[in-house]
Amino acid sequence: MRLDRRTLLTGLAATPLGGCGGLPRMAMPSLPFMGTEPVEQKPWGTLPDGQTVTMFTLTNAKGSQARVMTWGGILQSLKVPDRDGHMAEVVLGLDALADYIERSRNFGSTVGRYAGRIEGGRFELDGREVQLDVGSGPHSTHGGPVGFAKRNWLGRPDLTDEGPGVVLTLVSADGDQGFPGQLTISVTYRLTHDDRLILDYLALTDRATVLNPTNHSYFNLSGDPERLILDHDLQIEADAFAAYAPDKIVTGALTPVAGTPFDFRTAKPIGRDLFEANEQLRIGGGYDHSFAVRGQGLRRAGRLSDGFSGRSLEVWTTEPALHVYTANPVEMIGRGGVPYHPHCGVALETQHYQNSPNRPQFPTTILRPGETFTSRTEFRFSAS
């Protein structure tokens, strides 16, 4: 079952901001999925305010596995087979809830209300200026100091013929981080039996607002995060990218990729042009840019592949842009005590463009009462 408009309106409208109660645990059938229940849920820690964080483990018929937790709507783990059928971790992560709270770089998190930067934390909506919370910086970033990635979502199992899933839901109050309107949002993670990880977003508001959620997982298809992703081949279905001004705010211009390090129309190693003397690479500290995906509707945005393991990942989305971030400044200890260094992973974030509320030439991110926001992203895995 997928959350629809009526479910959100009737079942969740009264849920308090950030609450973790309210949705019942569903009874799940017992199926022979590699000796494992298709959806398991267990407590995974307690927040300082006493709320319990739940971890959902999804296992498909092939034995691939995704772990999703209610804190931050985070994809904490994803294991898929290589060319020899060996399962290994393909997303970066941390070992404990405290690590995610204290030192996360948005590993696997659900980002919102607005992914990326909004200039000065200000924009005009229906003739009035909206001022967002900006924290310690000059701009609103990833939804504010306490955005969706720092909330404990409601979670419940969701099993269909396609594969096991979990539905996460959050109610964000009117004025939350400065954003207008009470927003009710769900994201459904589903691990299908053919190794697609599907993310379905659905949202409603009672007042005009802006919305741009995404998932911030860092992929490393080698299965070994000590191997950098510089030799991963990346191909992107884009002829242009959103350029930055010197302060790393998008200018509103879509710059052709031809003749630049941003030309991924034909697959090439991520590291081939990453260190070129290029002003956009200098501003971003590497690749940290949104690419204008060709076409409309659910279509392929790009493909990532790793010759070492044989794994490949196709990204399909309904969103207008694919934001590529090569973990440029990451330097920390990650899951299992493994050191994470710059370029240990690559984020492939399906979303709208940054600062769209101040750039009318970009597709609108406005959501109004009576409208339903929907978005789908599929990460399609294979190995050869």
CATH number of the domain that residue 55 is part of? 2.70.98.10
* Per-residue pLDDT at 370: 98
Full DSSP string of 300-366: EEEEEE-TTT-EEEEEEESSSEEEEE--TT--EE-GGGPEE-TTS-EEEEEEPPTTGGG-TTSPP-E
* Least trusted range by pLDDT, from 14-18, 296-300, 335-339, 378-382: 14-18
The residues carrying an active-site annotation are 216, 349
Split at pLDDT 50, 70, 90, the class of 18 is: very low
Burial class (CB in 10 A: 0-12, 13-18, 19+), 240: middle
Select from 184, 199, 178, 187 the least CA-distant residue to 357: 178
Alpha helix positions (H), 230-323? 279-284
Instruction: Specify the amino acid at residue 142.
Output: H
Q: Is residue 11 over pLDDT 50?
A: no
What's the pTM?
Answer: 0.91
pLDDT of residue 39: 96
- Closest among 186, 153, 12, 156 to 70, alpha carbons compared: 153
Does residue 22 surpass a pLDDT of 50? no
Residue 23: the pLDDT is 31
* Amino acid identity at 378: E
Is residue 26 a part of any domain in this protein?
no
Rounded average pLDDT over 254-263: 98
Q: How confident is the model at residue 376 (pLDDT cuts 50, 70, 90)?
A: very high
Overall average pLDDT of the 184-209 stretch: 98
Beta strand extents in 173-237 (DSSP E only): 183-191, 196-205, 209-210, 214-216, 218-219, 233-236
Tell me which of 8 and 20 has the higher pLDDT. 8
The answer to whether residue 286 sits within a structural domain is yes
Q: Is the pLDDT of residue 28 over 60?
A: no
Within a domain: residue 276?
A: yes
The count of residues in the chain is 384
pLDDT digits (tens, 9 = 90+) for 76-129: 999 999 999 999 999 999 999 999 999 888 999 999 999 999 999 999 999 999
Q: Read off the pLDDT of residues 291-343 as tens digits, 9 standing for 90 and up.
A: 999 999 999 999 999 999 999 999 999 999 999 999 999 999 999 999 999 99
With respect to residue 34, please indicate whether it lies within any of the assigned structural domains: no
Evaluate if residue 285 carries a pLDDT over 70.
yes
Q: In angstroms, rounded to a whole number, what is the distance separating the alpha carbons of residues 126 and 196?
A: 39
Number of domains composing the chain: 1
| Mean pLDDT, range 163-189, rounded to an integer | 98
Give domain status of residue 33, yes or no: no
Give the pLDDT band of residue 6 (cuts 50, 70, 90): low
Residue 16, pLDDT above cutoff 50: no
- pLDDT confidence of residue 4: 56
Q: Which of 111, 98, 110 is nearest to 45 (CA)?
A: 98
Residue 223 falls inside a structural domain: yes
Segments forming the whole domain that contains residue 156:
5-16+39-383
Angle at CA of residue 71, ends 66 and 72, nearest 5°: 85
Enter the tokens of residue 365.
Answer: 């991110």
Which residue's structure tokens are 């930055």?
244
Q: Mean of the pLDDT values across residues 20-41?
A: 50
92 domain-assigned: yes
- Name the residue among 22, 75, 24, 26 with its Cα closest to residue 51: 22
The pLDDT value recorded for residue 63 is 97
**pLDDT surpassing 90 at residue 266:** yes
pLDDT of the residue at 8:
56
Q: Note whether residue 28 is domain-resident.
A: no
